[in-house]
């Protein structure tokens, strides 16, 4: 689904705005969705607007130093609602509720980690837990953000919830009354 992502006028416009706004290529790619930072950089060059922020000089549009990150979050949300590309696809692939399940796994030790960093998609990086917290359609939507297990999209805590043994699920399903 949504395989036809390309540089439409809208996407190019957004790219221009964000790039000139000082966003890094990777962040722009995340907001656009469906493209990598390389693609963004490549496009930026083709558009002939490479190289902003010279290390030695600059400071002329420092007026917008404190931009509200809200706009960025909104764009991210818009993407979630419409195409839901790579970076945010995980929001829907998990049929598990976003609250701790009431089952007691033998040693009920929920893993003592620095839980709840709560980050926006802007601060979410590849090595961070992508467990969604809250409503993706509201500005307060966050991701867990804790250190994720290498190779997995979740931290140890959320991985336990996400990847439950088949046996556990069967039991739950029966309890839930299915079939």
Is the CB of 18 or the CB of 162 nearer to DNA? 18
Strand partners, 132: 143
Is the CB of 50 or the CB of 103 nearer to DNA? 50
Is the CB of 73 or the CB of 161 nearer to DNA? 73
The minimum distance between CB 101 and DNA, in angstroms, equals 29
Distance CA 33, CA 31 (A): 5
**Centroid of chain to Cα 62:** 28
Chain residues in the site for DNA (CB under 7 A): 5-7, 24-27, 35-39, 41-46, 50-51, 125-127
The minimum distance between CB 179 and DNA, in angstroms, equals 42
Q: What are 52-58's contacts with CB under 8 Å, separation 24+?
A: 52/19, 52/20, 52/22, 53/22
Is the CB of 55 or the CB of 102 nearer to DNA? 55
Distance CA 72, CA 82 (A): 16
Query: What is the β-pairing status of strands 142-143 and 132-133?
Result: antiparallel
The minimum distance between CB 158 and DNA, in angstroms, equals 18
The minimum distance between CB 5 and DNA, in angstroms, equals 7
């Amino acid at each position: 689904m949504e395989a036809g992502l390309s540089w439409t006028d809208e996407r190019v416009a957004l790219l221009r705005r964000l790039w000139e706004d000082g966003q890094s290529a990777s962040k722009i790619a995340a907001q656009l969705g469906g493209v990598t930072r390389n693609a963004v950089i490549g496009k930026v060059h083709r558009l002939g607007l490479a190289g902003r922020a010279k290390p030695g000089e600059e400071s002329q549009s420092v007026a917008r130093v404190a931009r509200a990150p809200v706009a960025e979050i909104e764009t991210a949300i818009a993407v979630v609602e419409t195409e839901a590309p790579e970076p945010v696809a995980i929001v829907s692939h998990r049929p598990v509720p976003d609250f701790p399940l009431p089952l007691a796994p033998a040693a009920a030790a929920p893993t003592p980690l620095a839980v709840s960093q709560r980050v926006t998609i802007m601060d979410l990086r590849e090595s961070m837990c992508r467990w969604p917290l809250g409503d993706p359609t509201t500005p307060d939507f966050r991701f867990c953000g804790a250190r994720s297990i290498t190779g997995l999209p979740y931290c140890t805590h959320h991985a336990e919830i996400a990847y439950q043994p088949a046996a556990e699920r069967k039991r739950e399903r029966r309890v839930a009354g299915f079939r």
